[in-house]
């Protein structure tokens, strides 16, 4: 026999009483709750901005007993395609409600084996990859970066790493500084791909 959720039962009992027969505590306990066909529902509200006018959107969500919480999360996440936190949360909050629901969902997603093995991670999605097509001649396009800091030798403690985009030929060059005006004395490709910014930027195009 499943355990009784005392808080849910207490609200149900209070809602079955006439409103004028409820105590102050019971009135507070059942505020924004309704009893429909023996099911406890919570009246949910959202503020919605529509054409510069703030509207209140309301709906009713089923209050889930503790014994059914795992079932609800599995139905909304596992059986609906293993979507991330945002999508699963939006589905759950439209139909269900229980205390600590979002934290419970986060824990379930972190422990989901399917998501771990298939890379269905929750949260912000990664951007799309933009592959770079290789040029027709060597050293027309170079990928460049710096290795630093290294032990100084003859006043040089940085290494420029250059990789040709077509042949993947690698050039390493020791330099004293990573400033652009010194870097371009070694080689000026037609296209340069670098992650450096500011005074150390070597992006030439």
Sorted by sequence, the CB contacts under 8 Å of residue 188 that are 6+ apart come out as 204
Q: Is domain 6-118 classified as CATH 1.10.1270.20?
A: no
Q: Out of 2-11, 50-59, 67-76, 194-203, which region has the weakest mean confidence (pLDDT)? A: 194-203
Higher pLDDT, 187 or 82: 82
pTM of the model: 0.53
d(CA 114, CA 119): 8
The first and second tokens of residue 68, run together, are 């059914």
d(CA 82, CA 115): 7
Q: Which pLDDT score, from 0 to 100, does residue 182 have?
A: 59
β 39-50/96-97 pair status: unpaired
What number of other Cβ atoms are within 10 A of residue 117's Cβ?
8
Residues 139-190: tens digit of each pLDDT: 778 888 877 777 888 878 888 888 888 788 888 888 877 776 656 665 566 6
Element (H, E) at 141: strand 141-147
Within the chain, all domains assigned CATH 3.30.420.10 are found at 141-200
How far lies 76's CA from each of 51, 79, 99, 103, in Å? 32, 6, 17, 15
CATH superfamily of 141-200: Ribonuclease H-like superfamily/Ribonuclease H (3.30.420.10)
Q: What is the mean pLDDT of the chain?
A: 80
């Amino acid at each position: 026999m499943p355990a009784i959720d005392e808080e849910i039962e207490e609200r149900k009992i209070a809602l079955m009483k006439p409103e004028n027969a409820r105590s102050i505590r019971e009135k507070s306990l059942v505020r924004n709750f309704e009893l429909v066909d023996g099911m406890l529902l919570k009246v949910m509200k959202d503020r919605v901005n529509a054409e510069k006018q703030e509207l209140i959107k309301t709906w009713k969500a089923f209050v889930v007993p503790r014994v059914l919480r795992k079932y609800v999360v599995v139905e909304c996440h596992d059986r609906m395609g293993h979507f991330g936190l945002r999508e699963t949360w939006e589905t759950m909050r439209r139909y269900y409600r229980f205390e600590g629901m979002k934290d419970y969902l986060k824990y379930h997603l972190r422990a989901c084996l399917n998501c771990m093995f298939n890379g269905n991670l929750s949260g912000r999605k990664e951007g799309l990859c933009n592959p770079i097509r290789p040029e027709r001649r060597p050293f027309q396009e170079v990928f460049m970066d710096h290795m630093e800091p290294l032990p100084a030798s003859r006043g040089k403690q940085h290494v420029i790493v250059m990789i040709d985009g077509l042949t993947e030929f690698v050039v390493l060059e020791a330099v004293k500084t990573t400033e652009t005006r010194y870097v371009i004395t070694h080689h000026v490709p037609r296209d340069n791909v670098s992650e450096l910014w500011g005074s150390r930027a070597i992006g030439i195009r």
